[in-house]
Structure 1
Amino acid sequence: MTEYERSRTMSAPPEHVFEQAAAVDQLDTWLPDDLHVTAGDLPAVTVHEDRTDEDTSALLRARREQMRLEWGTRDQGGYAGWLQVAGIGSGASEVTLHLSFFDDGHDPGEQTVGDALDTSLRRLEEQVRLRVGHEAG
């Protein structure tokens, strides 16, 4: 099993960050560009990966009371992940993304995964900034 994790501080209350991250219809705004999530009967979702042009059955659970998202493949058990939002005071949050690959065949490698995690956190921060700015204006 291989695990990867990245964190980023965001200038927004944790509730705002979590609501943006957990909006199933807006996951494409912060996930890597080549991943697209279609909600079924939640927690069931389908993840389409452009790189392989494959659909994968997965589960996505939002644990609002813990400000945590959890996901993973449903049938083959190749990977799982979570996103955790924590308030760090002064209206800021720390967001941590974690991925676990249980099968080396699903692991695209440290550089690829690290870049994807960093990009996803940056894109989520931008979406939060847009949302908070829209609500304030």
Structure 2
Amino acid sequence: MTEYERSRTMPALPEHVYDQAANVGQFDGWLPRALHVRSDDPPAVTVHEDGTDQDTPALLRPHHDELRLEWGTRGEGGYAGWLQVAGSGAGASEVTVHLSFVDDAHDPGEAAAGRALDDSLRRLEEQVRLRVDNAAG
């Protein structure tokens, strides 16, 4: 199994960050650009990957009380991951995303996974900033 993890501090309360991250309708705004999630019958979702033009059945489990999202492919192998939001003081939050690849066919490699995680966290921070700025203004 191969695992990757990245963290980023965001300028908003943990609840605000989690609400933004957990909104399935806005996943396209922060997930890697080639992935699109369609909510089927929660917790069931379908993940579409542009590069392969394939749909993969998956599960998405929000844990609102823990400010945590967990996901993974349905069935054997594939991949799983989680996003955890924690307060870091002074109205800021620390967001950590973790990916585990059981099946090497899903593993994009360390460099690509790192870029995708960093880009996703940056895009999530942009969404959070827009939401916080709009709420304040």
TM category (shorter chain) comes to over 0.9
Q: Deviations over 1:43-63 (max 9, x none)?
A: 000000000000000000110
Query: Tell me, what secondary structure is at the counterpart of 2:60?
Result: strand
Distance in 2 (CA, whole Å) between partners of 1:101 and 1:94 is: 23
Corresponding residue pairs, total: 137
Distance in 2 (CA, whole Å) between partners of 1:76 and 1:31 is: 23
Distance in 2 (CA, whole Å) between partners of 1:77 and 1:2 is: 12
Q: TM-score, normalised by structure 1?
A: 0.98
Partner of 1:15: 15
- What is the root-mean-square deviation in Å for CA atoms of aligned residues? 0.6
Distance in 1 (CA, whole Å) between partners of 2:107 and 2:120 is: 17
Query: Tell me, what secondary structure is at the counterpart of 2:131?
Result: helix
Partner of 1:31: 31
Q: Which amino acid aligns with 2:62?
A: A
Partner of 1:73: 73
Q: Are 1:42 and 2:45 counterparts?
A: no
- How far does residue 91 in structure 1 lie from its aligned partner after superposition? 0.3
- How far does residue 81 in structure 1 lie from its aligned partner after superposition? 0.2
What fraction of aligned residue pairs are identical, expressed as a percent?
A: 72
Q: Which amino acid aligns with 1:104?
A: D
Q: TM-score, normalised by structure 2?
A: 0.98
Q: Deviations over 1:40-85 (max 9, x none)?
A: 1100000000000000000001100000000000134310000000
Partner of 1:6: 6
Query: Tell me, what secondary structure is at the counterpart of 1:75?
Result: coil
Q: Which amino acid aligns with 1:110?
A: E
Stretches (4+) displaced over 4 A: none
Query: Tell me, what secondary structure is at the counterpart of 1:56?
Result: strand
Query: Tell me, what secondary structure is at the counterpart of 1:117?
Result: helix
- How far does residue 12 in structure 1 lie from its aligned partner after superposition? 0.5
Question: For structure 2, which runs of at least 5 residues remain unmatched after alignment?
Answer: none
